[in-house]
Amino acid sequence: MQNDVKKRMKWSAAAFNTMIWPVVRSLLGGGNLLQMEGRPDLELAKKLDMLAGIDGWHIHHNGIRGIASRVQIGKPWNTFTVRMSKLSGAKTEFEKRKQALDYPQRGWIYPAITVQGYIETETGPLLSCGVCLTADLIRFIERGLSSGNGVSDAKFAVCSWVKMRKNGYPVKWWTRIKGYNVEWCKK
């Protein structure tokens, strides 16, 4: 892996841990985070990320579940983005999650929870973050309710938190509005 990609992944994990997890933790009803970045068993952490999309584990008194996370800098778009295609032709997040969901009898693991956070700069502050069930996110896309967006080497499904809620998906989010005012949507 290239050094800039490794650096970006390390930064993303740190930003998630310090800025996003404290908010997400309350949205998920408590518990702790066990991040995969920087684990002693680097091979396992890499496989969980690359094959299953699991960036961390939500450890709760009710059980344990995988978390997929994406951290973006800049404007808080208040959406989840899921990679749909890559210029390289490699399997995407969408294809991997869909395979796990469509064939549960095969036992493939996937992150139960998806989190997307937006921060103003690399050092903060947190602008917004959303949480949903990964299965809901994939089904929302399959129903044709997402919009699209592309960059030079990939195309993404863009899933508005508000639109997901309006279509019956129990998305939760936290948003900083005009400085220190905060909006919670925990339903």
Spell out the residues 6+ positions from residue 175 whose beta carbon is closer than 8 angstroms to its own: 76, 78, 127, 128, 182, 183, 185
* Domain assignments of the chain as residue spans, ordered by start: 3-185
Contact 167, 140 (CB under 8 A): yes
Q: pLDDT tens, 102-156?
A: 999 999 999 999 999 999 999 999 999 999 999 999 999 999 999 998 787 889 9
- The DSSP secondary-structure symbol of 53 reads -
H/E element, 45: helix 42-47
Q: What is the pTM of this model?
A: 0.92
Q: pLDDT tens, 47-94?
A: 998 899 999 999 999 999 999 999 999 999 999 999 999 888 889 999
List the one residue out of 153, 144, 134 whose CA is nearest residue 94: 134
